[in-house]
Structure 1
Amino acid sequence: MKRTVVLLLSLSTFIINAQKSDYEMVAQTVNYYLDGGTNNDFETLKKAFHENATMKYITDEGYKEVNALEFFSRMDASKPKQNRQTRIANITVSGHAANARLEIEYPDFSFIDFMNLLKIDGEWKIVNKIFYRKPTMEN
């Protein structure tokens, strides 16, 4: 009887931790992106993305879609650390799918990033990023 109770408690703790660990693993993945970007460190940033991840955004010329890793591969590690503050505003996990809303504040503007992630072979990877560049003065 004592073994059964211990086993049930261990199993329930494992299930609770498994749910929490997906959230933590998503947070770690988006932190690779945030830390890599802040430090101009492409090697850290690329840990966050699936190789076929896309980035979609709007410019003055209209809609753009690019491979995320190709876009970020232009990072220059010799440049100084970015002057910005980053924050994970929200993470939602549903099974093997998740999304995260990130806020990246520079002195003159902010980025609002929406990341879609999938759990692929046990690892959370960003598969799609869309964003909005928000001027500081905008409400």
Structure 2
Amino acid sequence: MKVLIVMAWLFIVPINSYAQKINVMKTDKTEETAIKNVIEQLYFKGIYEGNTELLKEIFHKDALLFGDIKGVPYYKTAAQYIEGVGSRVSPEKSGKDFKPTIISIDVINTIATAKLNVKMYDFNYYNFITFHKIDGKWLIVNKTLTDVEP
């Protein structure tokens, strides 16, 4: 009788009732579209036009940029980067080709990454950009970049 009760109890009580709960990561297509829009309307447009106000809208004030250009290490704060964009001749004014491409966007909850290819001047940049949704806005919190031969 005791064996039957124990066996019945084992079948009634779910085995995984004490298992750790794991949060499921969410990828939201609406947020992916929002990030695509800020990349195109603020980041790409800001770089192309040399529009520092657009870039200030998308970069978190404490964002950092790391990478290499033509094999030379590169490091700047967001403020230094934006100042540099504002002081150079923009691709728009130079008349040179500007071909930006979004390769991929991955979103999980309030963080996201984007892989971009930006061909401008004589450079073929690959950017890996990290976003964080802060106060309802997607902001760049980190940018890594490298220049590769076309």
Category of TM-score, reference length = shorter chain: 0.7 to 0.9
1:72-119: CA deviations, max 9, x gaps? Answer: 213148751553111111000000110000111136330000000011
Seen in structure 2, the aligned counterparts of structure 1 residues 39 and 52 have a Cα distance that, compared at 3 Å, is same
Partner in structure 2 of residue 24 of structure 1: 33
Partner in structure 1 of residue 124 of structure 2: 110
Seen in structure 2, the aligned counterparts of structure 1 residues 61 and 21 have a Cα distance that, compared at 3 Å, is closer
Task: State the TM-score, normalized to the length of structure 2.
Answer: 0.69
- Aligned residue identity for 1:92: D
Higher Cα Rg: structure 1 or 2?
2
Instruction: State the percentage of identical aligned residues.
Output: 24
Offset, 1:52? 0.5
Q: Name the CA distance, whole Å, in 2 between partners of 1:84 and 1:102.
A: 13
Q: CA RMSD, aligned part only? A: 2.5
How many correspondences in the alignment?
119
Seen in structure 2, the aligned counterparts of structure 1 residues 60 and 100 have a Cα distance that, compared at 3 Å, is closer
Q: Name the CA distance, whole Å, in 1 between partners of 2:147 and 2:71.
A: 15
- Aligned residue identity for 1:46: K
Partner in structure 1 of residue 136 of structure 2: 122
1:1-139 matches, cutoff 5 A = 19-31=28-40, 32-58=42-68, 63-74=73-84, 75-76=86-87, 79=90, 80=93, 83-106=97-120, 108-136=122-150
Offset, 1:45? 1.8
Task: State the TM-score, normalized to the length of structure 1.
Answer: 0.74
Query: Where in structure 2 are there 5+ consecutive unaligned residues?
Result: 1-26
Seen in structure 2, the aligned counterparts of structure 1 residues 64 and 111 have a Cα distance that, compared at 3 Å, is closer
